[in-house]
């Protein structure tokens, strides 16, 4: 991350009230949000925190993948970013690889009005570190169609000197959507079976060390299933690289030392333009409450705001 963003975070220690906004298109980014909330309670780095989860999903039955083209996706996410700015955040964390790909093409990015950190860089760093430590290994990048088609992780790794032969990419269409409906459901198991089989075939016979990078925040909810399916096919251990963890850690590393002389005031909000089905809320809340009970409660009490952001 840039030194400018690190300096911005450290300067927040002098503020009485700090607003941190985490965004995703859907519920995957709540894994990052929950990790931050839990760690703030045990390791306060700001005295008074408003932690907001902002669902950037645009329409009730139509997400970014179903918009007309890339230009429309960029335009809609630009509007969502403007909506985020109205919450006056001190920093925005884009906990979504798909939205991170779109972000640098938005007008909001060109204006650079406030610090924004996207998750792609964390994934690239984790893959790079793994392949440097194990030069004969292969990294498997699992993501949505938009993320994989963009080639953003692969290109960044090539620029760092990683050989193309060390990287395999696998688009996992509809897996994120299925995970939201029920991470333990039959549809999720079927899709994981299909995509891990396709990815394993790309590795060829008798691969050396293998890591799977979960380059969609939703995939962390099914980490064990993905790892188990790959290990069964490859007949060897598979390391899991989860950028969600690195993104949550970054906030505390960049902010500096913890504050021990003041009690932490922490307020959590979850806001959404669309209505979430109760089955989705229950499925994800059951998982994240193991990390942060307060996050699970905030999800169950989420605020549905139809005017959260405009679409035109």
Cα(273)–Cα(106) distance, integer angstroms: 20
Q: Is residue 309 part of a domain?
A: no
Residues 278, 228, single domain; the answer is: no
Look at residues 243, 278, 293 and tell me which one is the last residue of a structural domain: 243
Residues 202, 261, single domain; the answer is: no
Residues 91, 239, single domain; the answer is: no
Q: Is residue 278 part of a domain?
A: yes
Closest CA to 160 of 139, 137, 131, 133: 131
Residues 44, 187, single domain; the answer is: no
Q: Is residue 182 part of a domain?
A: yes
Cα(50)–Cα(53) distance, integer angstroms: 10
Residue written as tokens 């924004």? 116
Residues 187, 275, single domain; the answer is: no
Residues 219, 191, single domain; the answer is: yes
Sequential pLDDT tens for the chain (312 residues)? 556 677 777 777 777 789 999 999 999 999 999 999 999 988 888 888 999 999 999 999 888 888 889 999 999 999 999 999 999 999 999 999 999 999 999 999 999 778 999 999 999 999 999 999 999 999 999 999 989 999 999 999 999 999 999 999 999 999 999 999 999 999 999 999 999 999 999 997 778 899 999 999 999 999 999 999 999 999 999 999 999 999 999 988 887 776 666 667 899 999 999 999 999 999 999 999 999 999 999 999 999 999 999 998
What is the pLDDT at residue 297?
98
Q: Is residue 75 part of a domain?
A: yes
What is the pLDDT at residue 163?
94
Look at residues 243, 264, 290 and tell me which one is the last residue of a structural domain: 243
Cα(171)–Cα(296) distance, integer angstroms: 29
Residues 133, 224, single domain; the answer is: yes
The tally of domains found in the chain comes to 2
Q: Is residue 31 part of a domain?
A: yes
CATH number reported for the structural domain that contains residue 160 in this entry: 3.40.50.1860
What is the pLDDT at residue 217?
97
Domain that holds residue 273: 3-118+245-304
Q: Is residue 312 part of a domain?
A: no
Inter-helix orientation angle 278-288/30-42, to 10°: 40
Report residue 136 CA to chain centroid gap. 28
Look at residues 218, 243, 268 and tell me which one is the last residue of a structural domain: 243
């Amino acid at each position: 991350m840039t030194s400018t963003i690190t300096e911005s975070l450290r300067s927040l220690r002098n503020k009485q009230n700090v607003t941190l906004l985490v965004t995703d298109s859907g519920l995957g980014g709540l894994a990052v949000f929950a990790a931050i909330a839990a760690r703030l309670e045990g390791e306060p780095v700001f005295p008074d925190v408003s932690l907001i989860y902002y669902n950037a999903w645009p329409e009730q039955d139509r997400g970014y993948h179903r918009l007309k083209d890339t230009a429309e996706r960029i335009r809609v996410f630009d509007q969502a970013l403007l909506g985020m700015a109205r919450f006056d955040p001190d920093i925005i964390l884009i906990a979504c690889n798909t939205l991170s790909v779109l972000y640098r093409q938005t007008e909001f990015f060109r204006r650079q009005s406030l610090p924004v950190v996207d998750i792609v860089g964390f994934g690239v760093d984790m893959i790079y570190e793994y392949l440097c430590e194990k030069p004969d290994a292969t990294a498997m990048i699992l993501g949505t169609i938009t993320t994989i088609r963009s080639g953003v992780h692969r290109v960044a790794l090539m620029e760092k000197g990683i050989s193309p032969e060390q990287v395999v990419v696998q688009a996992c269409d509809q897996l994120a959507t299925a995970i939201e409906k029920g991470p333990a459901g039959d549809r999720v198991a079927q899709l994981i079976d299909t995509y891990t089989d396709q990815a394993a075939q790309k590795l060829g016979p008798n691969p050396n060390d293998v890591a799977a990078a979960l380059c969609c925040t939703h995939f962390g909810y099914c980490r064990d299933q993905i790892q188990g399916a790959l290990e069964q096919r490859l007949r060897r251990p598979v390391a899991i690289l989860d950028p969600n963890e690195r993104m949550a850690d970054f906030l505390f590393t960049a902010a500096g030392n913890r504050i021990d002389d003041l009690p932490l005031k922490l307020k959590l909000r979850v806001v959404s333009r669309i209505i979430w089905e109760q089955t989705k809320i229950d499925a994800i809340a059951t998982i994240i409450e193991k990390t942060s009970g307060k996050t699970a409660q905030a999800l169950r009490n989420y605020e549905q705001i139809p005017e959260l952001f405009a679409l035109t």
